[in-house]
Structure 1
Amino acid sequence: MKTSIHIFKSVFLLSMMVFTACDTLDEINENPNGVSPSDANPNLLMPSVMRPAATNILNLGYGDMAGTVQHTQKDGWFTGHNQSDWGLRDWTGWYDLLRTNRFLYQRAEETGLEFHKGVSLTMKSFIFGTVTDLWGDAPYTMALKGDQAGLENEFPEYDSQEVIYPGVINDLKAAAQIFATGNNEGVIPEYDLYFGGNATMWHKFTNSLLLRYYMRISEKMPEMARQGIEEVYNSGVYLMGADEDVAIDYIGASAGDSWPSATDFDAGSNFRRIKPCNTLLDRLLDYDDPRVGVWFRPVHCRWVEDTSLPVAVDPYIRENGQILNGVVSFQDIQYLDRIAEGNTYTRHYNPDLLGRQLDTREYVGLPPMLQGPSDHNLNPTGGQQLENQHVSQLSDHYRGRSGGFLKARIMSASEVHFILAEAAQRGWSVGDAETHYNNAVRYSLQTWGVGDDFDTYIQNPQVAYDGSLERIIEQKWIASWTTATESWFDWRRTGFPEMNVGEAAPESQIAVRFTYGNNEINFNAQQVAKAIERLEVTIGANRGPNNQWAKPWIIQGTGKPW
């Protein structure tokens, strides 16, 4: 009882102090440094959607998706990257962006800013498109309505991809109509991280996304896809060159706004885990692809086959041909300094005595899905040391924080022209397939700073257009370096490029989707269960239907990728 009295007295005294300090309670509740939602400037909201959308795609395309499409493999903490051992994956971050984006649209409507409405519609389409691409069916028509009267306690239903993809396309068409007017009234260029307020470039981006999603549905809704792609092509408004790639730079001030493998923030361990995958590297080397040296670094120490060697393997490495007694390997940072000084490092082995061949190439990758990837190519420092001197690392660009090639790229002119090449190869009225194919290859080489090598590269019989879908998709897959999600979706749709699982593969095929996460399973169980029932389970049935190999609607009945 005394406690209650003391609390009452304290509250009363506090209340008196409040009333004597201010004329009204409204003055107390007003934060002089805050912004009311009703006064929010749409310009300030744009970066909160645009930057994380771009970096999320980069984190996927440079991260686990690069492992899935066999651009890279990891030799430390590798199971998720190499073997699609992802577990349940929530989409919370994507829907957080969609809520912010919905607020952007509301404020654009309230302030009469059409340009910002177009931006919001484009980003809504991009994000919802990504969600359904990755997971399958998802909340769409009933999503983001929890604050509306009568819907506060509703659990959002999952729409079929058959509904979501046309919805994405319709919103992109609406955005394109806005940008076609050229009106960019009210935009502050610095807050438009993609195009600095340029409505024409937004129109090109929006139409290019239309090309992406029309091609995505080409096996399921072929007539809609054909008509849509022909319409965009005839408009002449889409990304036309490497200088129009949709990408943002990293700031580089902290780990959170730097390239994901920046060595300044983790002593380089994350960087050194990532190695080229032989599925990609072998093709690059076979084709004399000029991008190989942009993306990867030669091995620190190269194996040399030597049948005159009296032992199976040199006990120590050689510097400029001379044995360095007692030195089996240097650390990565030591190699960098010594090689920069002009030294070369080798190690001899005798295949007859060793009983097997080693990879003696200048560039060496990891085969996909190895049981013990850190031991590959007779690494003398296996385990989690991540110092394999006999396997290539990424090029030194990817050690950095920002600048140069370190961009979060979400769409390229190269991708657009590969789409048009595929459409033409199908016989659709979009011009000449070889011309689009050549332009796509050219723009990719330009993006990676080796455009001068185009004439030589395109004349390689293994590269030159041969009229096949396989050739188009293979080169598109190569060009999707750091944007590997698109190659994953293309592979699901076409079965190209050919990729094989490795010895540690958890299933007989590569995964095709993300699994629904714990948030949905725990809090929206009835609706997610209905979505799971619509999946087609052909592989991994012992894992339950919500698995990485269960086919979503977009590939059901197509016979692809298996």
Structure 2
Amino acid sequence: MKTLNKIMNLALLAVLVVLGSCDDDITERNINPNGVNLEEGNPSFLLTDVMVNTAMDVGNKGYSNPLAAYVQYIQKDSWGTNDYDWEGDGWETYYNNLRTVNLALERSQESGLVFHEAIAMILRAHNFALLTDFYGDVPYTEALQGADADGVDLPKYDSQESVYKGSIADFEAASQLISSNMSSLETISPSQDIFFGGDAEKWEKYANSLALRYYMRLSEKDPAFASTGVQNTLAKPLMESVDDELAVSYLGISPGDSQPSNGLSATPSNFTRVKPCATLIYALEELDDPRSDIWFDAVEVPTQVVAPAEMPSGPSTFLEISNGLRYINNDSLASKNLAIYDPATWYADREAGLTMIDTNGVFVGLPVSNQGTEPYTYNLNPSPVQGGGNIHVSLMNPMFNELEGPNLKARVFSYAELCFLKAEAALKGWGTDAEGNYNKGVEASLETWGLADAYEDYIDNEGVAYDGTLEQLMEQKWIANFSSASEAYLDWRRTGLPDLRPGPFAKSDVIPVRFVYPTENSTLNRENYYSALNSLEETEHTDDVPGYIQNDTPWSKPWVLQGVDQPW
């Protein structure tokens, strides 16, 4: 823990080549091996470094990280068993960001750089908010006080409530700092501001939008506080269109600045092992959702279960491939312990020991935690070896195998999310026009994936046309958050929607609700670490998996979930 508090010589100053809009590139960083004099640190470069690392963390968690499997966007068929035993990551990233941004804040204040100061406040608050989102109580008030001789080497863990509310207060203070000085703010080069290209109005909207996100994060736990905050925030400038959203394009020069799990910067299996999750496949199919074509690749060889007389080689044949289709004899299913995958029955079928066959004609995904081993055997794969491919399960769309591209972005905060937040607030009676904001959220998601022309038809589809339920709203928000798994996970944790559950071979019957503290915390900051564990609430699932220290498990509830009905 001591390393969290000592502001070390910074070796991560960024010299960045970017485009100059809210869709600017995540770019290469030149590393200074000799560090930098803290008194000479350029706040612009320091802030750029934190923007890069914050966006990369969101992007990496968003696509192929275990969080994306938790919320059932993807599954991995090799080198990842999808059994919900992941302990989480991000602690070091967030505190590294915080050390850097705290120096940027100090340097900005010393130099009278008001715009830089406000950006630093926003980035600092966001990284603290992410820490408490995932871990619970975290070092906060003392976390960055280790630079001076009288600093704190072993910081206390502050309550999750205080970190959330302190972060919200900082978002609001930064917004006010920008708005009250708008006419006299210093300029920031678009090449240094990879988030918004130096546009102060967009930073003000972003700070307010983050405040709205976090007020809603507390809407179940502290509705009185959240209600007042949401209503006040809705009266402030917020994102107004897709042009305002924060989606940072990947540069594609090195593995560290490219689309996560592409097969070009490392090994081809980085791409091929990531498969669509059956949960998302069937949800989109039921809604006739055009985003399926953008996100997934058609299965190479579809499967049909047919009557014996329809088998190309005769009724005694069990399985064969002919004319690009695989045929399976229906009369053989029972004897070979097989069942056709159905979203409504597959869980019970697997518990009964049956092996699934997916007969979907276009897209075939992997069911979540479908088996206790890595699922490269799924759907009777004829080449069942690790990394060997599977012609009977879909790959992700080939664009995800690229290093960069027009749709490949770290989606930190989308306009669609903002619209769905406003719609949910209206459902609670804290805002207005739930239907209008719901429709805008759907439209914004389609637009950001290049499908704006599909909106008029899609919005009238059964299950999509507005019905006034939170279930429908959160399903569309879940879909819109594809590749933004962090926010989808935290929404699910807050609302229990959509109704996701682990498969029959998961470590627990319920999805985890927090990350586990890094192991070294129990030794380097022992007293404060064990004190923090007392704030976690034991649940009936806390002991589902042995080996954790006291309550420091993925199934122990932090403050934000205590006394709340959701997610389980």
SS of the residue corresponding to residue 376 of structure 2 reads: helix
CA 494–293 in structure 1, closer or farther in 2 if over 3 Å, else same: same
- Partner deviation per Cα, 1:338-374 (whole Å, 9 max, x = no partner): xxxxxxx222111212333332221011111111421
Moved more, 239-248 or 413-422: 239-248
CA 351–385 in structure 1, closer or farther in 2 if over 3 Å, else same: farther
Residue 348 (structure 2) pairs with residue 352 (structure 1): no
Which residue is equivalent to 2:176? 177
CA contact (8 A) 1:90 1:518 kept: no
CA contact (8 A) 1:135 1:514 kept: yes
Gaps of 5+ in 2: 1-31, 341-356
- RMSD, aligned α-carbons: 1.7
Which residue is equivalent to 1:270? 270
Letter in 1 for 2:154: F
| Structure 1: distance between partners of 2:225 and 2:317 | 63
Letter in 2 for 1:549: W
Which residue is equivalent to 2:293? 293
After TM superposition, give the deviation of residue 304 of structure 1 in Å: 2.4
After TM superposition, give the deviation of residue 418 of structure 1 in Å: 0.5
- Partner deviation per Cα, 1:448-496 (whole Å, 9 max, x = no partner): 1111111111111211221111111111111110111111111111111
| Structure 2: distance between partners of 1:56 and 1:90 | 8
| Structure 2: distance between partners of 1:184 and 1:305 | 67
Which residue is equivalent to 1:546? 552
Which residue is equivalent to 2:245? 245
After TM superposition, the structure 1 = structure 2 runs for residues 53-202 of structure 1, keeping only pairs within 5 Å, are 53-62=54-63, 63-79=65-81, 82-87=82-87, 89=89, 91-152=91-152, 154-180=153-179, 181-182=181-182, 183-202=184-203
Which residue is equivalent to 2:565? 559
Moved more, 514-523 or 261-270: 261-270
After TM superposition, the structure 1 = structure 2 runs for residues 94-493 of structure 1, keeping only pairs within 5 Å, are 94-152=94-152, 154-180=153-179, 181-182=181-182, 183-235=184-236, 237-307=237-307, 308=309, 309=311, 310-315=315-320, 317-318=321-322, 321=323, 345-355=324-334, 356=338, 357=340, 358-361=357-360, 362-371=362-371, 372=373, 373-428=375-430, 430-493=431-494
| Structure 1: distance between partners of 2:465 and 2:422 | 17
More helix by share: 1
CA contact (8 A) 1:474 1:497 kept: yes
CA contact (8 A) 1:90 1:520 kept: no
After TM superposition, give the deviation of residue 86 of structure 1 in Å: 2.0
CA contact (8 A) 1:50 1:193 kept: yes
| Structure 2: distance between partners of 1:537 and 1:244 | 41
| Structure 2: distance between partners of 1:165 and 1:48 | 24
| Structure 1: distance between partners of 2:408 and 2:396 | 13
| Structure 2: distance between partners of 1:488 and 1:384 | 28
After TM superposition, give the deviation of residue 279 of structure 1 in Å: 1.3
| Identity among equivalent pairs (%) | 41
CA 359–205 in structure 1, closer or farther in 2 if over 3 Å, else same: same
| Structure 2: distance between partners of 1:312 and 1:448 | 44
CA contact (8 A) 2:62 2:68 kept: yes
Which residue is equivalent to 1:514? 515
SS of the residue corresponding to residue 472 of structure 1 reads: helix
CA contact (8 A) 2:218 2:226 kept: yes
Structure with greater Cα Rg:
1
SS of the residue corresponding to residue 97 of structure 2 reads: helix
| Structure 1: distance between partners of 2:221 and 2:316 | 60
| Structure 1: distance between partners of 2:267 and 2:250 | 19
After TM superposition, give the deviation of residue 276 of structure 1 in Å: 1.0
| Structure 2: distance between partners of 1:383 and 1:525 | 44
CA 210–59 in structure 1, closer or farther in 2 if over 3 Å, else same: same
| Structure 1: distance between partners of 2:44 and 2:89 | 32
TM-score normalised over the length of structure 2? 0.85
SS of the residue corresponding to residue 498 of structure 1 reads: coil
Moved more, 384-393 or 348-357: 348-357
| Structure 1: distance between partners of 2:48 and 2:84 | 31
CA 489–533 in structure 1, closer or farther in 2 if over 3 Å, else same: same
Moved more, 431-440 or 33-42: 33-42
After TM superposition, give the deviation of residue 399 of structure 1 in Å: 0.3
SS of the residue corresponding to residue 201 of structure 2 reads: helix
| Structure 1: distance between partners of 2:560 and 2:198 | 35
After TM superposition, give the deviation of residue 164 of structure 1 in Å: 0.7
CA contact (8 A) 1:70 1:277 kept: yes
CA contact (8 A) 1:184 1:197 kept: no
After TM superposition, the structure 1 = structure 2 runs for residues 24-35 of structure 1, keeping only pairs within 5 Å, are none
CA contact (8 A) 1:58 1:410 kept: yes
| Structure 1: distance between partners of 2:130 and 2:83 | 22
| Structure 2: distance between partners of 1:354 and 1:294 | 34
SS of the residue corresponding to residue 191 of structure 2 reads: helix
After TM superposition, give the deviation of residue 267 of structure 1 in Å: 3.2
SS of the residue corresponding to residue 164 of structure 1 reads: helix
SS of the residue corresponding to residue 383 of structure 1 reads: coil
CA contact (8 A) 2:122 2:174 kept: yes
After TM superposition, give the deviation of residue 312 of structure 1 in Å: 4.6
| Structure 1: distance between partners of 2:386 and 2:224 | 52
| Structure 2: distance between partners of 1:385 and 1:89 | 25
CA contact (8 A) 1:296 1:394 kept: yes
CA contact (8 A) 2:187 2:198 kept: no
| Structure 1: distance between partners of 2:388 and 2:495 | 35
Moved more, 241-250 or 192-201: 241-250
Which residue is equivalent to 2:20? none
After TM superposition, give the deviation of residue 499 of structure 1 in Å: 1.1
After TM superposition, give the deviation of residue 42 of structure 1 in Å: 1.4
| Structure 1: distance between partners of 2:168 and 2:80 | 37
After TM superposition, give the deviation of residue 536 of structure 1 in Å: 0.9
CA 164–34 in structure 1, closer or farther in 2 if over 3 Å, else same: closer
Letter in 2 for 1:393: L
CA 489–306 in structure 1, closer or farther in 2 if over 3 Å, else same: same
Letter in 2 for 1:354: L
After TM superposition, give the deviation of residue 88 of structure 1 in Å: 7.0
Letter in 1 for 2:413: M
CA contact (8 A) 1:379 1:390 kept: yes
CA contact (8 A) 1:108 1:117 kept: yes
CA contact (8 A) 1:507 1:540 kept: no
CA contact (8 A) 2:502 2:511 kept: yes
TM-score normalised over the length of structure 1? 0.86
Letter in 2 for 1:560: Q
Which residue is equivalent to 1:331? none
SS of the residue corresponding to residue 560 of structure 1 reads: coil
| Structure 1: distance between partners of 2:227 and 2:154 | 36
CA contact (8 A) 1:297 1:392 kept: yes
CA contact (8 A) 2:138 2:157 kept: yes
| Structure 2: distance between partners of 1:375 and 1:302 | 16
| Structure 1: distance between partners of 2:37 and 2:89 | 34
| Structure 2: distance between partners of 1:515 and 1:113 | 38
| Structure 2: distance between partners of 1:397 and 1:128 | 33
